[in-house]
Structure 1
């Protein structure tokens, strides 16, 4: 017997099929839990969030109108529950310390939370926005693995200019990635 797609499972869930709900739950629970855990820093809170999302899914099963990308719908639901949970934690002094402790590693590891395609798109967009000479230096260095001396020779620049351009490019890329990662963590 072939494995049902998420869309097929959702259709069956809308018809009160408990086994379809269990199948979907078992298929997606772990990845949603990890997603919530990275943001909350607490297994119990992450578990609560995912349980709430699945309970809500079952309660609203007859009115769901998800045509495409059911995974994205569930991740968004978890994301909003996480935001609400963090807001509640900020009101509780004991939980506030847990939030502080979980924020620092989460920001450091935020790249893990971005899909590689999204991360690459951000990098590509930022590289394209670099000034022409800086972009040229950066691409020769990163994509063609050219040395500073070789780039200086090819572009008729001093080696110091090449190093300066690389440093500026890295700084700009780092800032844009930090903003994207922080946004991803908060969202």
Structure 2
């Protein structure tokens, strides 16, 4: 089984081949679990969501339509689970502090997750996730680097200026331009800026 490609495993899983499913699980459970744990900060909750993702994957096996790499499909499924998790359980303090550092201003946390989760169709959620990846990937390289340093690693303006050998004003300008792009994406896709920022937070390591 270890030499079989993901696409072949998927065909076997559709035929209810449990060893094929177990191989797929062994390949990706740590990756999926890590995504959940980094956002939740709770090992038990992360493990529960990981199990749910794989259980639902197997339960839907016969009618499963996977148009992207299996790893990406499972990642999107976990992001969808996380969105629903925060909608139903709310932002606990540990989540809020983590996201607040990322967002850098008061987020519409609960209401934004609620609105995201109203897009109950997983395919629509998958499209939103791919939109976020595209939005970040399409940023000029330096803008993307600065934006992610400021949002995912919580670098200050001065720390980024020192790290990248740029002036603080240049850093501020690049962040401002990145946020302008995000506002445009939000407006074109019937999302608030806070919702887009939540999706970025969910999708970044």
TM range (shorter): 0.5 to 0.7
1:103 paired to 2:99 = yes
Asked whether the equivalents of residues 36 and 82 of structure 1 are also in contact (C-alpha less than 8 Å), the reply is: yes
Asked whether the equivalents of residues 13 and 20 of structure 2 are also in contact (C-alpha less than 8 Å), the reply is: yes
Partner of 1:89: 89
After superposition, where does 1:47-62 map in structure 2 within 5 Å? 47-62=47-62
CA 125–40 in structure 1, closer or farther in 2 if over 3 Å, else same? same
CA 181–41 in structure 1, closer or farther in 2 if over 3 Å, else same? same
User: How many aligned residue pairs are there?
Assistant: 146
Give the unaligned 5+ runs of structure 1.
109-115, 128-144, 149-162
* SS of aligned partner of 2:139: helix
* SS of aligned partner of 1:4: coil
Asked whether the equivalents of residues 53 and 78 of structure 2 are also in contact (C-alpha less than 8 Å), the reply is: yes
* SS of aligned partner of 1:65: coil
TM-score of the superposed pair, with normalisation by structure 1: 0.61
* SS of aligned partner of 2:9: helix
1:169 paired to 2:185 = no
Larger radius of gyration: 1
Deviations 1:19-44 (A, max 9, x none): 11111001000011111111222111
Deviations 1:43-76 (A, max 9, x none): 1111111100100011111110214322221111
Partner of 1:140: none
Instruction: Tell me how large the CA RMSD over aligned residues is.
Output: 3.9
Partner of 1:5: 5
1:184 paired to 2:200 = yes
Partner of 2:109: none
Partner of 2:71: 71
Separation (CA, whole Å) in 2 of partners of 1:167 and 1:76: 31
TM-score of the superposed pair, with normalisation by structure 2: 0.56
CA 105–29 in structure 1, closer or farther in 2 if over 3 Å, else same? farther
Give the unaligned 5+ runs of structure 2.
105-132, 145-163, 183-192
Task: Give 1:79 shift.
Answer: 0.6
Asked whether the equivalents of residues 25 and 54 of structure 1 are also in contact (C-alpha less than 8 Å), the reply is: yes
